[in-house]
Amino acid sequence: MRETPKIRLFVDADLAADTHVAPTDGQRHYLAQVMRLRTDDHVALFNGRDGEWRARVLSLDKRGPALVVEDSLRQQVAEPDLWLAFAPIKRAPVDFLAQKATELGVARLVPVMTQHTDVRRLNTRRLEANAVEAAEQCGRLTVPTVAEPLPLDDLINDWPPTRRLFVLDETGGGAPIAEALFLADTKTAGFLVGPEGGFARSELDALRDLPFVTVVDLGKRILRADTAAIAALSCWQALVGDWHHAHDAT
C-alpha cells in the first residue's frame, strides 16, 4: 500500500483521477523552494468537497499545470458543525486562536465586536491563511470559513435559533461546562468568547434571556480569551464531539 504524502495542500479545484491542478504562486514556492520537491514527487490535495487525493508533481515552474491527480486517499466525511464567535484580540493571540480552533474542528470563525472589545480592526484574510495552514497540517478535510467582523447585536439577531450557543461567562454565573454540554442538544452548536475585559453586564443579561443560549463557566481561574476558547472547544470535542464518538467506535 502506498504511503500518504506528508505534504498536504488545500486547493479550490475539483479533484478527480487524471485531472490537472495548478497551485497558486505561493504554493509553488512552498513546494519547490521550501520543501524542495522535484518532478514525480507526491503531495496530498483536498478541497473540502471531494475528499483527499494523491497528486504527482509534473512541474513547479509557471508554465502549464503543475500537478496531476492520481488516486483517492480518503473519502469526504462529515465533520463537527461547531462555530466559534469571539471578540478580536491582539494579532499574535488571534492568529494562535484561529490555528488552534481549526485543529479542534471548528467549522466557522465569527469575529464579534462587543462593548469592551479593544481591537477594532481585524485582517480576516490573515485569519483565513492561518486556518488553511492549520487544516493542511492537522489532517482535516475542510477549512473553516471566516466571517467578517460584526456587532454583538447582529450576531444575536442572525444566530440560527436551533443552534445552541454556549456563552463563556467570566463572572462565574454559568453552569459548569461539562454539565451544560451533557444536558444540551449539541448536534449543532457554537461558543461565544468575550474580550479580554469581559462582557458588559448589559450584554450578559441580554444573552441570558435568549432561548438558544446556555451560559457556562470554566472554573475559578481567570483565563485569557484565547485560552478560554481553546479550553471550551476541547471540552466540547472530548465530551460530545468527534473525540467522544471516535472513542465510542473502538
Residues 36 and 149 in one domain: no
Instruction: Residue 156: give its domain's CATH number.
Output: 3.40.1280.10
Whether residues 23 and 109 share a domain: the answer is no
Confidence band (pLDDT; 50, 70, 90) for 83?
Answer: very high
**C-alpha grid cell, residue 62:** 509557471
Strand-strand pairing, 145-146 and 108-113: parallel
State the greatest distance between any 2 C-alpha atoms of the chain, in Å, as a whole number.
61
Is 242 among the domain residues? yes
Q: Is residue 54 part of a domain?
A: yes
Last residue of a domain, one of 28, 46, 74: 74
Could you say which of 20, 43, 74 is where a domain stops? 74
Q: Provide the pLDDT for residue 95.
A: 94
Q: How confident is the model at residue 247 (pLDDT cuts 50, 70, 90)?
A: very low
Q: Among 78, 81, 77, which Cα is nearest to 190's? A: 81
Q: In this structure, is residue 56 part of a structural domain? A: yes
Q: Could you tell me if 12 and 122 lie in one domain? A: no
The dihedral through the CA atoms of 112, 118, 120, 126 has a sign that is negative
My answer on whether 70 and 188 are in the same domain is no
Domain end residue (candidates: 41, 56, 74): 74
Same domain, residue pair 146 and 245: yes
Domains contained in the chain, number: 2
Assign residue 29 the CATH number of its domain: 2.40.240.20
- The residue segments making up the domain with residue 99 are 82-249
Residue for grid cell 463563556: 168
Whether 116 and 218 share a structural domain: yes
Q: Is residue 1, in this structure, part of any structural domain at all? A: no
Mean pLDDT of the chain, nearest integer: 91
Q: Are residues 164 and 108 in the same domain?
A: yes
Are 147 and 109 in contact, with CB atoms under 8 Å apart?
yes
Separation in Å, CA 92 to CA 84, 88, 159, 192: 18, 11, 28, 20
pLDDT tens figures, 186-201: 778 999 999 988 999 9
Residues 69 and 168 in one domain: no
Domain contains 3: no
Say what percent of the chain tops pLDDT 90. Answer: 74
Please write the tens of the pLDDT for every residue from 12-50.
999 999 999 999 989 998 998 899 999 999 999 999 999
User: Are residues 226 and 103 both part of a single domain?
Assistant: yes
Q: Check residue 49 and give its pLDDT.
A: 96
88 and 45 in a common domain: no
> Same domain, yes or no, for 137 and 63?
no
Q: Are the beta carbons of 60 and 11 closer than 8 angstroms? A: no
**Domain membership flag for residue 140:** yes
Residues 86 and 49 in one domain: no
For the entire predicted model, the pTM comes to 0.91
